Amino acid sequence: MNHRDNPPPPEPDAADRADLGARLLARIRAAIADADGLLPFDRYMDLALYAPGLGYYVADAPKFGPGGDFVTAPELSPLFGQCIAAQCAEVLERLGGGDLFEFGAGSGALAVQVLRELDRLGALPHQYWILELSPDLQARQRERIQAEVPSLTNRCVWLTEWPRGLRGVVLANEVLDAMPVQRFRVREDGGVDEVFVTDRAGQLVETTAPIRSSGLAEAVAVIQSEGFAQTAGYTSEINPHLAPWLSALSDAVQSGLVLLIDYGYPRSGYYQADRTMGTLLCHHRHQAHDDLYRDPGLQDMTAHVDFTTVAEAGLAAGFELAGFTTQAHFLLGCGIDSLMADASDALDQALGAKQLLLPTAMGERFKVLGLNKGISDPWRGFSVRDLRERL
């Protein structure tokens, strides 16, 4: 059953949303006071998205699909999950079996699609592990998997911490873009300041001051040494969580393939000269805007991914680079054309496939980066075109 056939979850009423927003604003203002009036932007973003019981990703409100704020690839077409399953099957066959681990399973759509296709292929994993920070999303995932693939529910295990000794595949679809980022701005004299959030006359506003956050000055120096972020007023982001996240992931993985799927660029594209205000965007009811301080907790907030930094952090954590390509090339390598040809509802599938493949939609904007550990490539997903030389 396609997700579009499901009615959207009920929307919280206006009073509940207003109360949620007011309580989160109070939490943010308290954090600003504790930080002597200058709250680092990544701390603000962390509160807006993940404050317990209040942040966007942990509060009880619809986020995905028609009734939410944005649509991810699995909601657009089951072909996405079927292609991911084809890549998983190749890995599990080479390992002689194993498990799947999805970090942040969203609506549960990808888990359903992957499990259903692996069942059809006779290549089911021993277990499908899910690490989900949101209790609300956990509940929605359980309900959806039980409703759509009830015979496979017993293979799904929800974790509260990283697994250990994983042999198989790690899936992270639109996870890295939701990590809190630090922000910086180049001064007129060429120096670099940090962007902070403060409370001015009852309004959340941003301001700049000398860098306080650990590691930010060093990270900006690396970018500038490569010729980027040089002009006065240039503002952008650094993700300080990539290296520790990939290090923890490496500790969890014994052997297998990690697939990181997200929108972003290599470093040369991320910090190009005309991208002077960075990549941060908010999403609300399928509309994107750049007001980062409007309705914190009630809207999504994301930054694009610097895939060069991801690759560097992965190598430092003990992985090997398995490949880097666009989503379109990855899906073609995994056989999306054959899946469309064999589908009973080929016309409907073709409409969804266009959104997944077209350069003007998700095809080139989204990238797939693969990391190996204890296993060798090549993998079919990177067989059509591997763009690792661009990293």
Averages of pLDDT over runs of 10 residues in the chain (391 residues) are: 36 62 94 98 97 87 60 93 98 98 95 98 98 89 96 96 96 97 98 97 96 97 97 98 98 98 98 97 86 92 98 98 98 95 76 91 96 95 98 97
Task: Please report how the helices 242-252 and 307-316 are oriented relative to each other, as an axis angle in degrees rounded to 10.
Answer: 40
Q: How far apart are CA 305 and CA 9, in angstroms?
A: 30
pLDDT of residue 63: 58
**Strands 39-40 and 192-200, bridge-based pairing:** antiparallel
The DSSP output letter for 64 is B
pLDDT of residue 176: 98
**Are residues 225 and 232 in contact, defined by beta-carbon separation less than 8 angstroms?**
no
Tally the residues of the chain: 391
Q: Which of 55, 18, 25, 20 is nearest to 197 (CA)?
A: 25
pLDDT of residue 21: 84
pLDDT of residue 68: 56
Intervals of CATH 3.40.50.12710 along the chain: 73-178+242-279+305-390
**Are residues 281 and 288 in contact, defined by beta-carbon separation less than 8 angstroms?**
yes
pLDDT of residue 9: 38
Three-state DSSP at 235 gives: strand
Task: Please report how the helices 78-95 and 109-121 are oriented relative to each other, as an axis angle in degrees rounded to 10.
Answer: 50
CA atoms within 13 A on the CB side of 247: 6
Q: Which two tokens stand for residue 112?
A: 């359903």
Which secondary structure element, helix H or strand E, spans residue 325, and what is its range?
strand 320-326
**Are residues 284 and 300 in contact, defined by beta-carbon separation less than 8 angstroms?**
yes
pLDDT of residue 14: 61
Radius of gyration in angstroms for the set of CA atoms belonging to the chain, rounded to a whole number? 21
Phi-psi region of 215 (alpha: psi -120 to 50; beta: other; left: phi over 0): left
CATH fold of 73-178+242-279+305-390, please?
A: Rossmann fold (3.40.50)
pLDDT of residue 10: 42
pLDDT of residue 61: 63
Q: What is the pTM of this model?
A: 0.93
Three-state DSSP at 301 gives: strand
**Nearest-5° angle of CA 308, CA 313, CA 317?**
150
pLDDT of residue 350: 80
Q: Which residues of 112-142 are buried (b: 16+ CB within 10 A; e: fewer)?
A: bbbbbbbeeeebbbebbbbbbbbebbbebbb
**Are residues 356 and 336 in contact, defined by beta-carbon separation less than 8 angstroms?**
yes
**Strands 203-210 and 166-173, bridge-based pairing:** unpaired
Q: Which of 258, 255, 257 is nearest to 374 (CA)?
A: 255
Q: How far apart are CA 329 and CA 363, in angstroms?
A: 8
Phi then psi for 261, rounded to 5 degrees? -120, 120
Q: How far apart are CA 113 and CA 144, in angstroms?
A: 11
Phi then psi for 234, rounded to 5 degrees? -60, 125
Judged on CB neighbours under 10 Å (0-12, 13-18, 19+), 326 is: buried
